[in-house]
Copies of this chain bind each other. A is one copy, B any other.
């Protein structure tokens, strides 16, 4: 790309790496200003509303419902250019980033790449146990879950059938609970009348959690209510259970073993690493440790926000990797750059705790805001409204609301399509291929 903005202008160049919650919010704060030129780079061309990814995995929504092209979202900001590309290296010395389409110079740099799944060193497990951070993974999970039921319908072998109708979710945080609850609801309600050879209600669902209880970030009482709720949907919860191995036939938990055709990973994340010369410290999951103003120590022009940043709160604990944190940090970084331009002194970032929620199924959820706790249908509606509000465009709000409305009243759970994972061209023979590439 040509770097024409740099010559002979008074504009400051801000490079934003990552078009998620943090990067998008920062871009909007800095948009439409004559004194700034913004370049936003993302390896994908869309902004993804991650909290609803599990809905795509469970076929209640399609990818178009929870994602929108970055280009469109920023089209009205005439000082923002969007590139789909990969940042390969940060060169703090020369104030440039190396991308797969050239070098890009910056006056300010915002790193907001997020996290990816972490298998605690056992990367071989990933092919057996997909995580849920991307649309591709959500579609893959959808495919595996539905294929399991199709295969169970076809088989005569009862042991094979039991394995096909067994789902193991590794990790008992909100994501694991959402996945388990969805499969529970799907098997006990949505799919119950659709099969002739099998009874979907016989589905076994396990949450395998290494800690002493699930939903460790929530109050003990609420987590307990969630546990009861999950059990009513047929979910068995194994705590104090650390997975020691995962293969194509199931999971090993010390001396115990569960045979399952589908294993889903909701257990650990690690920050996306970018080679750099910033000399920055990272925490044990790879997040950059930042100053109080979210900048890299020694590099006040480089900010990190969202899941990729590690900022300690007053209690000395890092802020969680949640959407409200990411959004507030993006907002703060944008405003801080504007303060710089006006010559004002920077202030430290202060997170306004909006609480936390986890959903299990229709009318089943938990909400905790400070000292306020509630569950059941009011919690579920709260969860629904908050997520609809935060979806980032009017169209999305209306359509998602209607999709959900439809699913809610019919337990229909949307499209529920299996689309095979790859587009592969046919080999020479045009007979019915054994492995359908369609």
Contact = CB atoms under 8 A, between A and B. Distances in A.
Contacts of A116: 426, 430
B419 A135 contact: yes
A309 to B, nearest CB: 16
20 contacts: A1-B153, A2-B156, A2-B197, A44-B436, A44-B438, A45-B416, A45-B418, A62-B62, A67-B417, A72-B194, A75-B193, A75-B194, A84-B418, A85-B154, A88-B434, A116-B426, A123-B426, A136-B423, A136-B438, A274-B432
Q: What does DSSP make chain A's interface, helix, strand, loop or mixed?
A: loop
Contact of A69 (B81, B270, B416): B416
A64 B430 contact: no
Interface stretch (A126-134, A224-232, A244-252, A343-351): A126-134
A85 to B, nearest CB: 6
Interface string A1-25: 1100000000000000000000000
A318 interface: no
A1 B197 contact: yes
Interface residues on A, range: 35 or more
Contacts of A292: none
* Residue from A71, A406, A425, A428 having most chain B Cβ neighbours under 10 A: A425
A422 interface: yes
A138 B177 CA distance: 34
Given A64-B415, A154-B1, A274 B431 contact: yes
Interface string A42-81: 0111100000000000000011110111011001000001
